[in-house]
Chain A
Amino acid sequence: MSIRGKAACVGLGMAGMGEAPGRNAMEIMAEAVGKALDDAGIPLSEVDGLFAATAFHSMAAMSLAEHLGIQPKFSDGSNIGGSSFMAHALMAAMALDAGLCNVAVIAYGSNQRTAGGFKSISEPMPFEAAYGPRNPLTAYALATSRYMHEFGATREQIAEVAVAARAWALLNPEAFMHEAGPLTTDEVLAARMISDPLGKLDCCLVTDGGAAIVMTRADRARDSAKPPVYLLGAAFEHHHRMISAMPSLTTTAAAASGARAFEMAGYGPAAMHTAQLYDAFTINTLLFLEDLGFCGKGEGAAFVQGGAIAPGGRLKVNTNGGGLSCIHPGMYGLFVTIEALRQIRAALGSEEGPRGPGGWVDGARLSVAHGNGGVLSSQATCVWGASETL
């Protein structure tokens, strides 16, 4: 028994993109919920399933339900970092399929940028904190050092990930770096070193932002105002919390979550028209391209060369500009999901707003949305598809 295609996204919304001065995290999240419900054409009163996680609320689903004035029959505030929302999509599909709720909303909000900068949700790690790690940065720097050592990858090769992300952002007026101009490899290499071998431009943005999606069972989704996008496969897995406890710093649990999500979907990586991969740091994109099966282990750095994941490249990766150049309010996973969904909706004729040439990928019917949480800790993969892929 599978939940493949049993539920679909019928609405989505974003709020406070980039900077939202004067608004708190809950207000940004609630605005995104309102936009997603408007997009779906479903009134708030019908929402009976609620899923939320933020860095600002220890019990986000309860806080959001109260703010919205609703009394959900099913809710889940599980927090596995930035991958929470892929897991929420799986939970929502299960709850919808089981009849435990009828309209599920997944939401997130953050005002970290205007509230003073990076907002951590993490307690100090008991056997690491004494050494002064600046997590998550330190952990990703360590992983990058190991990746370069094992596979002979260079900083110059890895910089291509940031260059490609910027090129996508230039096509996306919603991206925080849309007006920043193109990025060159030399600029990435020349940026201030933060934690070797990661420089400033290897690291994600620190922005505000909120996001929400609405899911219903497939039978109801068929009549929705916007093209429904079906959850074809989903899986998550995690094996550590502290980077020192990660079995191998060059293979993530995405190798497991991706394989199971693709198996449920009945489509493999080669069938994906876009790949939205949580890029908190440049190393993420390489590891996830490998672990999800777009290329072999250790081949990621070579795979991305020559604009291969930039607009016009062979694989459309992080088409909004990613966490590196579009938006990163701390837990970016729901934006990853929304970009996967919007690419499919746009290709089906939905008005999704302006993008530069190629910014909306022609013929997109299948997208993978991969979320990462903690310090390469939690990996969650969703495969979304248009109705014809069912």
Chain B
Amino acid sequence: MSGYFDGPGPEAQYRAYLAEGRFMIQRSSSSGAYVFYPRTLAPGTGAQDLEWVEASGMGTVYATTCTRQRPEKGGDYNIALVDLDEGPRLMTRVEGVAADAVTIGMRVKARIAEVGGAPNVVFDVVEAGA
């Protein structure tokens, strides 16, 4: 069995994938459950069988807020929680519509963009929510 520290940890691997333009999430091969954020052990079960898989990139807005900010400081911006079609939820930003026009249930698609000085996942609206 390989050790836990044979190479970069899950966060470093995740960020390295992002730098290559790939949005990768983990999957526990025994349960089939998808995992985000990147873990060392499968959450809840402790299984040591997490493997990297490409995310479909499709998701649905689960919750959203428009953070109010004065224009001279950059203006309002969106923060959303998106449920990936694979199951896991992540914090992100929905772009392409006004920060306060993002609604729960919107279908969104992932894109890698520079956020906070590093590549991170943001989402674009593909269709309005129910």
Chain A interface residues toward B at CB < 8 A: 126-134, 138, 141-143, 145-146, 149, 192-198, 242-245, 249
- Does B49 have its Cβ within 8 Å of any Cβ on chain A? no
Q: Sort A-B residue pairs by CB-CB distance and give the 9 closest, nearest first.
A: A130-B116, A141-B65, A142-B63, A244-B91, A127-B37, A146-B63, A196-B66, A128-B91, A149-B104
| Bound-complex Cα distance A374 to B11 (A) | 23
- A131–B91 CB distance below 8 A: yes
20 contacts between A and B (CB under 8 A): A130-B115, A131-B79, A131-B120, A133-B67, A133-B79, A134-B67, A138-B67, A142-B65, A142-B81, A143-B63, A145-B64, A146-B104, A192-B68, A193-B66, A194-B68, A197-B65, A244-B81, A244-B90, A244-B91, A249-B81
Question: Given A127-B37, A131-B93, A244-B90, are A138 and B79 also a contact pair (CB < 8 Å)?
Answer: yes
Chain B interface residues toward A at CB < 8 A: 11, 36-37, 62-68, 77, 79-81, 89-93, 100, 104-105, 115-118, 120
| Bound-complex Cα distance A138 to B65 (A) | 7
- A244–B89 CB distance below 8 A: yes
**Complex contacts, A249 vs chain B, CB 8 Å:** 62-63, 81
Given contacts A131-B91, A146-B63, A242-B91, 19 further A-B contacts (CB under 8 A): A126-B11, A127-B37, A127-B90, A130-B117, A132-B79, A132-B116, A134-B67, A138-B67, A141-B65, A142-B79, A142-B80, A145-B104, A146-B104, A194-B68, A196-B65, A197-B65, A243-B91, A244-B90, A249-B63
Question: Given A143-B63, A195-B68, A244-B81, are A130 and B104 also a contact pair (CB < 8 Å)?
Answer: no
Please give me the residue from chain A that is nearest to B78 by CB atom.
Answer: A131
Candidates A128, A145, A192, A245; contact of B65 at CB < 8 Å? A145
Candidates B37, B67, B115; contact of A126 at CB < 8 Å? B37
| Bound-complex Cα distance A162 to B80 (A) | 25
Please give me the residue from chain B that is nearest to A150 by CB atom.
Answer: B104
**Complex contacts, A193 vs chain B, CB 8 Å:** 66, 68
**Complex contacts, B36 vs chain A, CB 8 Å:** 127
| Bound-complex Cα distance A275 to B67 (A) | 32
| Bound-complex Cα distance A131 to B100 (A) | 15
**Complex contacts, B81 vs chain A, CB 8 Å:** 142, 243-244, 249
Closest approach, in angstroms, between the C-beta of A66 and any C-beta of chain B?
37
| Bound-complex Cα distance A324 to B128 (A) | 35
| Bound-complex Cα distance A296 to B37 (A) | 32
Closest approach, in angstroms, between the C-beta of A162 and any C-beta of chain B?
18
**Complex contacts, B105 vs chain A, CB 8 Å:** 149
Closest approach, in angstroms, between the C-beta of A111 and any C-beta of chain B?
27
| Bound-complex Cα distance A232 to B18 (A) | 52
- B65–A195 CB distance below 8 A: yes
Closest approach, in angstroms, between the C-beta of B17 and any C-beta of chain A?
14
- B64–A132 CB distance below 8 A: no
| Bound-complex Cα distance A133 to B77 (A) | 10
| Bound-complex Cα distance A3 to B94 (A) | 49
| Bound-complex Cα distance A195 to B37 (A) | 25
Please give me the residue from chain B that is nearest to A141 by CB atom.
Answer: B65
Please give me the residue from chain B that is nearest to A124 by CB atom.
Answer: B116
| Bound-complex Cα distance A245 to B68 (A) | 24
Closest approach, in angstroms, between the C-beta of B121 and any C-beta of chain A?
10
Closest approach, in angstroms, between the C-beta of A252 and any C-beta of chain B?
14
**Complex contacts, A242 vs chain B, CB 8 Å:** 91
Question: Given A131-B116, A142-B79, A244-B81, are A195 and B66 also a contact pair (CB < 8 Å)?
Answer: yes
| Bound-complex Cα distance A129 to B120 (A) | 11
Closest approach, in angstroms, between the C-beta of B107 and any C-beta of chain A?
15
Name the residue in B67, B90, B104, B115 with the highest tally of chain A Cβ atoms < 10 Å from its Cβ.
B67
Question: Given A145-B64, A249-B63, are A133 and B100 also a contact pair (CB < 8 Å)?
Answer: no
Question: Given A243-B81, A244-B89, A244-B91, are A129 and B67 also a contact pair (CB < 8 Å)?
Answer: no
| Bound-complex Cα distance A132 to B89 (A) | 17
